[in-house]
Chain A
């Protein structure tokens, strides 16, 4: 009686459905790792496996024990905060068997631009190059000593390090102004930029020579009354001097 009423075309569909569900359950039983989901959507055993992996990094202290000359050189340089193994790779094997295992030495051009290639999100003042245009074909270590990376030639322009600011300024009405128009830059800043800082203007009168109503600007600069315009603020609290028309 039931068979008679049950539509025949549903039978194979029901069989297929049951087969698919069974296949899924069987696949789950075989393919889902045993400890999956114990702590979260991952295999709990993997934590123990990762903990059991051999340690490959020796740590900077181990390098210092033998290479004190390099450490002395590096500790005064811009790279004082860069760990040895950041460039030389994991060196635990080298510490265990110094004569048999040599750490890597990145001699090509591909490695240094990982940090020093131009990227607009890098902080201003961080030396950045365009790898394609910066002495193409020459390995970095031909001119720079990575353990004491003082520039072989003092940069002549500020944009060597302050690329992003230079880019902004280039498309602004301030493009023709020299950086030293507003910043006082001690000569030592070019050689030792961190210990001798370039100074930012603090005097609200910095902008006055061009932008006050009695200014002497050669160009057609917008002028304001410095006594009534935002008297409680410094100009650069509201205007970005490197690109004054930007928001």
Chain B
């Protein structure tokens, strides 16, 4: 008789039930998980920045510029996973040269270019223009010339010119909000419009993507703000952090409600796919969906945020809980993207079988490459923060007394965070 153990080993990691030949191996790998994750962070961080500018939430002033350059750093990195996945990055400009309007994926180039060139770069340029002009005069060495180039030859920083900058900035932000919605809503649209895939095909998909983007963006800026403040040995503005935590909590509640709505809608519709999908959720996606996305990534941070924001806690504890909640949110949103992208490929379109995703470590589609692609935006952010320091001058240095206060911006360029 055939030994049973090798055969059992054969059954466990592979496919189960019936699957079509082209479904045995997944075609969209971890890089395609990274892509909506990164664009979500971009859109979320920008929408957060726009709150300060358009809706005049002054308490968020300390993170306005930080949110903007965070958004830019992650936007630069956003198409890299796609290029790594597709190969031949040199062919990507062809999207612009020969536009293909019937393909949502091909239109991504234009959505991306619009968002990068018209929204983010312009807003950052108008917002930093006065400082860039001052730095181009005051700084020494090579960097002086970098700033000179960045002025684009306009050195007028009269009151009238600055007033125009601010108006332009506000106008672009107003334009930027629907653009940010478009950027990430469109990523949801790509998945939501795949009619043949019942896990993806849902009109709610762009909306759910959008709110999860806002959640992840706020959590990212919170993390970046706390970490950069600690590294720079600066006091964190608690009103700002409290506001961030509140916004994060509210966005999470809306996001969770939408996800629940989607879930209930699917259950109520009970299309023929419901059996294989529930089997997938209870087996293949149990850890990543039920445990990671819902419990660790949603329920736990919501409770943590409620406890930290509305409980009677010292500021240090509050900061720590906010920080932990924001990390959990990142884990949860990454799991959300994973469950959408990988989950949509784990079941057979015959609705009769499930397959497994095997993530390799090395190789262009491996875990190592994904980690590098995730770290790249952090590197971009570091470079951008050196070039265009987003820090606001503080009224109080950290209370150790070991370091002196540094002022990166010229006096008067931004009001103090302590006034909020």
Contacts and interface: CB of A to CB of B under 8 A. Distances in A.
Interface of A: 7-9, 11-13, 16, 20, 24, 27-28, 31-32, 36-37, 41, 118-122, 130, 133, 157, 159, 163-164, 166-168, 170-171, 246-247
Given A7-B164, A247-B275, A171 B11 contact: yes
10 contacts: A9-B126, A9-B129, A9-B161, A27-B97, A31-B94, A119-B21, A121-B19, A121-B24, A170-B11, A246-B17
Q: Which of A7, A37, A121 has the most chain B CB within a 10 Å cutoff?
A: A121
Interface stretch (B148-156, B223-231, B291-299, B372-380): B148-156
A41 B275 contact: no
Nearest to A118: B10
B142 interface: no
Interface in B10-49: 10-11, 14-15, 17-21, 23-24
B96 interface: yes
Interface residues of B, number: 38
B96 A24 contact: yes
Nearest to A120: B15
Given A167-B10, A170-B11, A120 B154 contact: no
B97 A31 contact: yes
Contacts of A27: 93, 97
B10 A130 contact: yes
Given A27-B97, A120-B15, A9 B8 contact: no
A32 B93 CA distance: 11
Interface string B89-117: 00001101110100000000000000001
B7 A166 contact: yes
B165 interface: yes
Given A120-B15, A120-B18, A168-B17, 15 more contacts: A8-B156, A9-B126, A9-B152, A24-B96, A28-B97, A31-B94, A36-B98, A41-B100, A119-B24, A121-B19, A159-B7, A167-B7, A170-B4, A170-B11, A247-B279
Given A31-B97, A121-B20, A121-B21, A7 B161 contact: yes
A44 to B, nearest CB: 13
B166 to A, nearest CB: 12
B1 interface: yes
Contacts of B164: 7, 9
B6 interface: yes
A12 B154 contact: yes
A7 B163 CA distance: 11
Given A133-B6, A157-B2, A159-B7, A120 B24 contact: yes
Nearest to A36: B98
A168 B235 CA distance: 62
Nearest to B353: A120
B202 to A, nearest CB: 23
B238 interface: no
A25 to B, nearest CB: 10
A157 B1 contact: yes
Contacts of B161: 7-9
B168 to A, nearest CB: 8
Contacts of B156: 8-9
Given A120-B24, A167-B11, A13 B4 contact: no
Nearest to B14: A120
Q: Give me the 8 closest cross-chain CB pairs, A-B, nearest first.
A: A12-B152, A121-B21, A120-B15, A167-B11, A9-B154, A7-B164, A41-B100, A8-B156
A8 B7 contact: no
A122 to B, nearest CB: 7
B8 A122 contact: no
B204 interface: no
A128 to B, nearest CB: 11
B122 interface: yes
Given A9-B154, A120-B19, A121-B18, A170 B97 contact: no
A118 B152 CA distance: 63
Contacts of B129: 9
